[in-house]
Structure 1
C-alpha cells in the first residue's frame, strides 16, 4: 500500500482507549439509570450491558471500535471484530447480531475498506451471528468496530465482580500484544512474535467462554485496554485481594526483550498510574511489570473459578492452542489489592 500504509496504521487497537482514570471521572457525573430489568449497566465497569426481557431471556449489548494496530486491513478487520464480540463472551452470552461502525477517509482507497469489512464479517459469521448493517462517517483516520447484541439467561450472567475467596484465576490468552505491536511498528518485532500476537488477537473468545460455562464461574472479564492489572482490580473491587503467580503468567516470549528496548505504550503508563499503587511486586523485574500493565487488544478471558474446577477447565482451554494458565487466586481483602510474587 506504499504511502497509505503509514497513514493506515499509526498505532491503535485498545491502546487508543481513554485512560481508566479520566474515564471514571466522566462516568461518575452521569446519573445512574434506575430500571429493575437493567441487570448490569456501566456503574460496575462490566464488559457489556445486560437487560432482562423475560424471566428466562436477557439481551447483552456492547460496542467497540478503534484505529488499526496492524498494517493488513483484512487482519485489522478480524481483530476489531473479535475484540468487539469478546464482550458478549465475557458475560457468558451468545452473539446474535452485529452492526458495523466505520470511520474512513474519503481520499483513501475504498478497496482497503472492503478488506476491513470482509475480515470483520468473517468473524461475525464464525461467532454464529448475523451482520445486519452499520453506520459510516468520513474521518481523517481509519477506525472500525462493531455494535453487538447477544442473548443470555438472566440467572447465568458472568459479572466481572462476582469472584469469591479461594477462587483460582485462569487467563485464556497470552499477554503482550501491545508491546509486540509497538515493536512491529518500529520494524523490530520477529515474525514469530507477530504471528502469535495476530493469532491471539484474531481468536474468538467464544470457545473459551463455552468451555468455562460448564464449570462454577464466579466472575469473568476480558483483558483489553486497561491491561491485566487494571481489569483484575475492577474484578476485585473493594471486597477482595488477589495473589498473582509471577512465574505462571502466559505472555509472548519476545516481550521481555522488547521492553528492555523500551518499546512501550503511553496506555501502559496510564494503566500504571491508575492502579500501580494498588499492586505490590515481589521479586518481579521491570519487564514483567510492563507486561502486566500492557494494554491488550482482543485479549483473553480472565476467569475467577471454583478452585476444584480450575485444573480440568484449563486442560480443555489448552486444547484451543494458545498459551494460557492458572495465574493466581482470590484472597481476603488486604492492604494491597494485588500482590505479584
Structure 2
C-alpha cells in the first residue's frame, strides 16, 4: 500500500535516526534516572509497578481482581509505507501491556507531523494503520494529540488491564529458569537498510510481518504456562533487555547464540554494515556486562545487540519449556529456547 498522491519524499528520509526506533541509549537513560532521583515513583501500596522499577509499564491495583496498566511509545518512521509504519508503531505500543501479562483496553494517538513537507492525508494513512493494529488486539482508539514538527513521529498511549496476582515483572526472574524468545531479531539492521535503500522487498516484508504481529498470543500462552517474569525486546536489544531483567532480579544469564531466531536477510545486512546507531550504543554500554565467546561471528554479535522495534517477548520459564514453545509455534510464532538464568553477578550475561 502506498501513501496518497504517491508522495515524493520518503518517510524514512525525514527521520534523523539510522533505522531503529531511536530509544534513549541505556547509558543516557540511567543518567536520566539518576538525575531524577526521588522524582521516580517506586512501587508501594496499590502502585504495583512504578517508574523506579524500570519495567515495561506502570501498574496500579484497582482491587483484588483488577490492575490498571499504563504505557506509551512513539518513534520516527522506520519504513516508507505510512500504513505499515502506523501498524508497527501501534503494535509496538500495545506490546508493553502484553509484556506485563495484560490486555489493552483503549489508546490515544500521539503524533508529530511536518505539515509543510507531507500531506495530512499521509498522516491519515499512518493513523489508519495504527487503528487497524489496535482493533486486531481488541483495543479502542479514542482520540489523541497532534503537534507540528519537522520530524514525523507517531505512537500511542495505551491503557490495559491485568490480574494483580498474574503480572509479569522483570524483577521476578529467578536463577535456574529457561529463557524463551517469541520472535526473531534483526529489525534494526533491516530498518537501517530500508533507510539507505538497500533492503530487498522480501527482507522488508518479513520484517514488517514480524513487527506487526501482536504479542497477544505470546502473552496468553505465557500466562497459561505460569510465567511470572517477562519483557518485550525493543530498543535495548536482546542482550540489553536481558541485562536489565537479570540486574533487577539479582541474577545472571547465559544465551546460546546459535539458538536465537533471526529474521531472513538480517545476518547478511549486519555483515554488510547496516548497523543502526542504537545498536552501536547498546554494544558500547553492554561491553562491561556481556561476555561474548571467542569465535562468535561479529555479525551475529551485532544482531544480539540490535535495537529492535516491536520485538517479541523474552520469557523466563521456571518449568520444562517444551509445551510452551509448542504452544507458541502453534500460534505461528518462531519461538525458541535461547538460554537460561543462572546464579552470578547481577546483570551479567554470557553468550556461548
Q: TM-score range by the shorter chain?
A: over 0.9
Q: Secondary structure, in 3 states, of the residue corresponding to 1:137?
A: strand
Q: Tell whether 2:152 aligns with 1:142.
A: yes
CA contact (8 A) 1:15 1:265 kept: no
How far 1:58 sits from its partner (Å)? 1.0
Structure 1 residue aligned with 2:28: 22
Q: In 2, are the aligned partners of 1:20 and 1:226 still within 8 Å (CA)?
A: yes
State the distance in 1 between where 2:183 and 2:325 align. 11
Instruction: Report whether the alignment pairs 1:301 with 2:301.
Output: no
In the alignment, what sits opposite 1:241? 252
Report the Cα distance in structure 2 between the residues aligned to 1:116 and 1:43, rounded to whole angstroms.
Answer: 33
Aligned partners of 2:83 and 2:127 also within 8 Å: yes
TM-score by length of 2: 0.92
Q: Is the 8 A contact 2:245 2:347 kept in 1?
A: no
Correspondent of 2:171 among 157, 161, 164 = 161
Report how far residue 182 of structure 1 moved.
1.0
State the 1:8 CA deviation: 4.5
Pick the aligned partner of 2:202 from 171, 192, 203.
Answer: 192
Q: Deviations over 1:71-108 (max 9, x none)?
A: 00000000000000000000000111100001011222
SS of the residue corresponding to residue 71 of structure 2 reads: strand
Query: What are the Cα deviations for residues 261-304 of structure 1, in whole angstroms up to 9, with x where unaligned?
Result: 11111111111121122111113111111001100000000000
Give the TM-score taking structure 1 as reference length.
Answer: 0.95
For each residue in 1:193-251, what CA deviation from the matched residue of structure 2 results, as whole angstroms up to 9, or x when unmatched? 11110000011001111111101213100000001011000110161111111110101
Match of 1:95 in 2: 104
Q: Which runs of 5+ in 2 are unaligned?
A: 1-5
Q: How many residues align?
A: 340
Cα deviation per residue 1:29-54 (whole Å; 9 max; x = unaligned)?
32233641111012121000001111
Give a deviation string over 1:298-335, Cα, whole Å, max 9, x none: 00000001132x11111111123242211000111148
Unaligned 5+ segments in structure 1 are: none
Q: 1:43 aligned to 47, 52, 55, which one? A: 52
Instruction: Tell which deviates more after alignment, 64-73 or 211-220.
Output: 211-220
